[in-house]
Amino acid sequence: MKIEKNILWAVALGLSLAGVQAGEWGNWRGPNHNGSTEEKDLPAKFSKTQGVIWSAPMPGPSAATPIVFGDHVFLSSSNPEEQQLMASCHDRKTGALKWKHVVAHGHNKDNRSNYAAPSPVTDGQLVSFYYGNGALATYTTDGKKMWAKNIEKQHGEFAYQWTPSSSPLLHNGTLYLQVLQRNSKVHGRGRDNGKSYILGLDPKTGGQLWKVYRTARAKAESLEAYSTPVPFTHGGREEILITGGDCITGHDPKSGAELWRWGTWNPTRIGHWRLVPSPVAGAGVVLACAPKRAPVYAIKAGAKGDVSSSGMLWHSEGSRDGVSSDVCTPLFYQDDFFVLYGEGRDKMLSRIDPKTGKAKWATDLKSRSLFRGSPTGADGKLYAMNHAGTVHVIDAKSGKILRRAEMGEAGDDQTRASVAVAHGSLFIRTNGRLFCIGKS
């Protein structure tokens, strides 16, 4: 009853529910937008047969993280055989399919991902689904279609080397989308002199509230970003963080106007440094990851204007100290950053002091498979899943590996979703199944 009263109170105030309920997982990085949650009493030991409350088949692989709110689990999926892009909802308690819609058709642009890579987002009343071919649709949580459009058709053909995978952000009554792309055609797609932009939409109607062009000095593929906008409040000022194009920027949530920027991690303007990790913030620090085993950079929060020459607090040594991330978005949990480098031979997870950048511990996860999903923090534990669908459970304090749970099937090599945590359960999406894991 207490939770229900809190929800009603939040609705009455017109607040975004995604940031109100710690027990929900309304966007791909959870209630705090940093990969963490205050959920307790979560399992450390589980498998495909142990601790499974329910499991449900998936129509095909997808990097989209399960989105959990109330009794709903929302999923974006791609059916490669039918070339369908689907939006669906499962019952959180039983796994039963509540509803399903075919939003658009298509599958992928390259062999690394597919158009269903972006995660859905919900505020508990509406849920929005976005796909790499520009298809965007919003439904009520019971599956009633509110509106649909195609961003690519409205704003011009996308220019990406790889499949677009930025997730939407629904925050305080605005639906945010970023399209950070190159300014020339690639693989015959896009436009010469095309621009990158950020959109603010009305989630109830799909109407455009504003559009802001985002400039960058990057070149070629380095203009491309597959990251997701992140809301952040510091010193009473709320902003939307955007990374890509060799820089990080903060924007006014109401207008999209740029408040500040820092860059660059690429002073020589290397042309193949596309960006995947989203920004993460905590303890007065905004963290951005440069690609290709380059360092992570800590920027002092509360910046104004161009702080490229003064805003950096510290940076890691990248390949020299193992603190780097080419794909995985870092986690902020228990007042520290956790950075996962999931490429190459050594898959390193490091706990980093946000004030100094020093590692408190670094653990080799000893995984043959890559990590493309981002780490999740809850109940004193970290959860990180690799391409094979093996979930690594790590003690947050010591870095000790507590468990390796093989949730995938033989031959799985495309599991990219992050682990979601809500209502005392883990929601784990592999290539072929969605698992709800709990202690009861």
Q: What is the CATH number of the domain that holds 348?
A: 2.130.10.10
Report d(CA 136, CA 138) in Å as an integer. 7
- The predicted structure's pLDDT at residue 394: 99
Instruction: State how far the Cα of 339 lies from the Cα of 412, in Å rounded to an integer.
Output: 24
Which amino acid type is present at position 166? S
Joined tokens for residue 257 = 């106007």
Rounded Cα distance between 414 and 7, Å, is 37
- 286-290, 345-349, 357-361: which has the minimum mean pLDDT? 345-349
Q: What confidence tens digit (pLDDT) does each residue in 192-207 have?
A: 999 999 999 999 999 9
The CB density around residue 59, as the number of other CB atoms within 10 Å, is 18
pLDDT digits (tens, 9 = 90+) for 243-294: 999 999 999 999 999 999 999 999 999 999 999 999 999 999 999 999 999 9
Q: Is the pLDDT of residue 100 over 80?
A: yes
Question: Other C-beta atoms within 10 Å of 97: how many?
Answer: 13
Buried/exposed code over 82-95 (b: 16+ C-beta within 10 A; e: otherwise): eebbbbbbbebeeb
The pLDDT of residue 437 is 99
Confidence tier at 324 by pLDDT (50, 70, 90): very high
| Enclosing H/E stretch for 155 | helix 151-155
Tokens 């161009």, located at residue: 306
Q: What is the pLDDT of residue 12?
A: 36
Record the pTM: 0.94
Query: Residues 141, 69: contact at Cβ < 8 Å?
Result: yes
Q: CA dist 151 to 172, 179, 317, 326, Å?
A: 21, 9, 38, 27
- CA 273 from chain centre, in angstroms, equals 19
- For residues 306 and 4, the model is more confident at 306
Separation CA 116–CA 73 (nearest Å): 16
Mean predicted lDDT score pLDDT of the chain: 94
Q: What are the structure tokens assigned to 97, written together?
A: 């399919």
**pLDDT at 112 exceeding the cut of 80:** no
Residue-wise pLDDT tens digits, 66-98: 999 999 999 999 998 999 999 999 999 999 999
Q: Which domain holds residue 199?
A: 2-437
Q: What is the pLDDT of residue 47?
A: 98
φ, ψ of residue 220 to 5 degrees: the values are 50, -130
pLDDT digits (tens, 9 = 90+) for 149-188: 999 999 999 999 999 999 999 999 999 999 999 999 998 9
Long-range pairs for 294-298: beta carbons < 8 A, 24 or more residues apart: 294/265, 294/266, 294/318, 294/319, 294/324, 295/265, 295/323, 295/324, 296/323, 296/324, 296/325, 296/330, 296/337, 296/339, 296/352, 297/248, 297/262, 297/265, 298/354, 298/357
State the total domains in the chain.
Answer: 1
- Give the up-direction half-sphere exposure of residue 171: CA atoms within 13 A in the CB hemisphere: 28
pLDDT for residue 109: 67
Could you tell me the pLDDT band of residue 137, with boundaries at 50, 70 and 90? very high
Helix (H, G, I), strand (E, B) or coil at 296: strand
| Greater model confidence, 440 or 116 | 116
Tokens of 25: 């997982």
Q: Are 312 and 262 in contact (CB under 8 A)?
A: yes
Q: In angstroms, rounded to a whole number, what is the distance separating the alpha carbons of residues 426 and 436? A: 6
Give me the pLDDT at residue 333, please.
Answer: 99
Q: Does 18 have pLDDT greater than 60?
A: no
* Predicted pLDDT at 22: 62
Beta-bridge mates of residue 376: 383
Three-state DSSP class for residue 199: strand
* CA distances for 272 relative to 179, 223, 246, angstroms: 18, 9, 11
With cut-offs at 50, 70 and 90, classify the pLDDT of residue 146: very high
In the chain, the largest separation of any two C-alpha atoms, in whole Å, equals 58
Which tokens go with 322? 């193992």
Find where tokens 């660059």 sit. Answer: 264
Binning pLDDT at 50, 70 and 90, where does residue 7 land?
A: very low
Write b or e for each residue in 332-350: b if 16 or more Cβ atoms lie within 10 A of its Cβ, otherwise e. Answer: bbeebbbbbbbbeeebbbb
Q: How many Å is the Cα radius of gyration of the chain?
A: 20
pLDDT value, residue 269: 97
User: Residue 258's closest CA among 204, 198, 308?
Assistant: 198
pLDDT of residue 440: 63
CA distances from 402 to 248, 340, 360, 378 (A): 35, 17, 18, 14
HEC letters along 53-68:
EEEEECCCCCCCCCEE
Looking at residue 415, its amino acid is T
pLDDT, residue 292, reads 95
Q: What is the pLDDT of residue 20?
A: 45
CB 229 within 8 A of CB 240: yes
Query: Nearest 10 degrees: CA dihedral of 223, 225, 231, 236?
Result: -20
Contact (CB, 8 A) for 379 and 402: no
Torsion of CA 86, 14, 68, 331, to 10 degrees: 110
pLDDT at 59 over 90: no
Residues of the chain above pLDDT 70, percent: 94
